[in-house]
Amino acid sequence: MALRKYNYQPTLFFMTTQTYLRSFRPLVFALFNLVILVNLQSCRFDKKQTKTEETVIETENFVNILTENMDFQMVDTIPSGWNTFRYTNASPQTHFFLIDKYPEGITMQHIIDSVGPPFDNGMKLLNEGKTEEGYAEFGKLPSWFMEMKNLGGSGLISPNLTSETSVKLDPGYYIIECYVKMSNGVFHTSMGMAKVLIVSDINSGNSEPNADIKINISSTEGIIFNDSINKGKHVISVFYKDQIAHENFIGHDVNLAKIDDTANLDELNNWMDWSNPKGLIEPAPKGVTFLGGVNNMSAGDTGYFKVNLDPGRYVLISEVPNPSSKNMLKTFVVKE
């Protein structure tokens, strides 16, 4: 809000009416001071409003993503540096978003032509129980697919919830995707959940978040954290000590979920493997509410996510085959 401006010329006023005002000088000065006081108060009010508006702008400094069906509704270009993605899942399915960086020159059309078919055909064969033929299809993926890097994104998020995830991105051409599967085994990517994202040379100016809870994850130690966690709002960092391709070709990540008494952890453990015909498929396991997390990143990278934890039972779990055997399924309790 712009400050109001007043154009007072008191000297000229007194010169032209000097004789008349001499007898009313005390009253004139009182009125003049009153006007000045009102003007100052008005300026103070406008400054307060300006400060309030600036605070709102700073507070709302997010990259907003909305999913209503099989889509990512968001801007096409974002600044480089640190960005916080606010992902609202307004659909009836479980989703995530993962940020992919392919080798220079690889575009969305290359992905559609050369990556989609092997995954679709391979998964179809796995669903039919033809394991050997299915993995043979995956062998048809182009060599440059193995050079793709994951730069983070949200963990799994249940319907009608919102997650906040912060990552740092360099300028370039990226693709975001969700490959959770529909109830018929078809990947969400094949239904339209893949989108080009351009990261510009303009820096966001955002700072790296400050975490009050720290998680380390590695292929050798699994998920390591201090499980004494209080209720309330938290900023959680996820540091990738290393990264490997697991049996299903993807790296490890961190997903947070709240679980109730109906949840079956063995079922959840098996569900986290997309290459399992019954894995990463709708509906998600009963009694499990996914709250986000940090998707796959490279060794040495750190991502952040924000949560507001109510009292109850929770699980941190990675989207890999048999995460419990890798120390990547960890439960904890948030107390009153």
Q: What is the pLDDT at residue 27?
A: 38
How far apart are the C-alpha atoms of 329 and 227, rounded to whole Å? Answer: 13
Percentage of the chain exceeding pLDDT 90: 81
Asked if pLDDT for residue 146 goes beyond 50, the answer is yes
Which distant-in-sequence residues (6+ apart) come within 8 Å of 123 by Cβ? 134, 181, 185, 186, 187
**Domains in the chain, number:** 2
Domain assignment present for residue 78? The answer is yes
User: Are 190 and 228 members of one domain?
Assistant: yes
How far apart are the C-alpha atoms of 231 and 155, rounded to whole Å? Answer: 20
Measured torsion, CA atoms of residues 59, 173, 247, 254, in degrees rounded to the nearest 10: -10
Domain assignment present for residue 192? The answer is yes
Identity of the residue numbered 152: G
Q: What is the pLDDT at residue 34?
A: 38
User: Are 98 and 18 members of one domain?
Assistant: no
Query: What is the DSSP-derived secondary structure letter of residue 33?
Result: H
Identity of the residue numbered 198: I
Domain assignment present for residue 54? The answer is no
Domain assignment present for residue 277? The answer is yes
Domain assignment present for residue 265? The answer is yes
Q: Which helix (H) or strand (E) holds 166?
A: strand 161-169
pTM for the model stands at 0.82
Q: What is the pLDDT at residue 61?
A: 85
Query: What is the DSSP-derived secondary structure letter of residue 187?
Result: B
Q: Is the CB of residue 329 less than 8 Å from the CB of residue 265?
A: yes
User: Are 221 and 87 members of one domain?
Assistant: yes
How far apart are the C-alpha atoms of 39 and 37, rounded to whole Å? Answer: 5
Q: What is the largest CA-CA distance in the chain?
A: 107
User: Are 154 and 207 members of one domain?
Assistant: yes
Domain assignment present for residue 269? The answer is yes
How far apart are the C-alpha atoms of 176 and 97, rounded to whole Å? Answer: 6
User: Are 24 and 78 members of one domain?
Assistant: no
Asked if pLDDT for residue 68 goes beyond 80, the answer is yes
What is the arithmetic mean of pLDDT over 306-314? Answer: 98
Q: Is the CB of residue 43 less than 8 Å from the CB of residue 85?
A: no
Find the angle CA(69)-CA(117)-CA(142) to the nearest 5 degrees.
120
What is the arithmetic mean of pLDDT over 94-108? Answer: 98
Domain assignment present for residue 113? The answer is no
Asked if pLDDT for residue 18 goes beyond 70, the answer is no
Q: pLDDT per residue over 249-285, tens digit each?
A: 899 999 999 999 999 999 999 999 999 999 999 999 9
Q: pLDDT grade, residue 41 (50/70/90)? A: very low
Range of the domain at 17: 9-43
Q: pLDDT per residue over 204-263, tens digit each?
A: 999 999 999 999 999 999 999 999 999 999 999 999 999 999 999 899 999 999 999 999
Identity of the residue numbered 53: E
Domain assignment present for residue 4? The answer is no
User: Are 228 and 302 members of one domain?
Assistant: yes
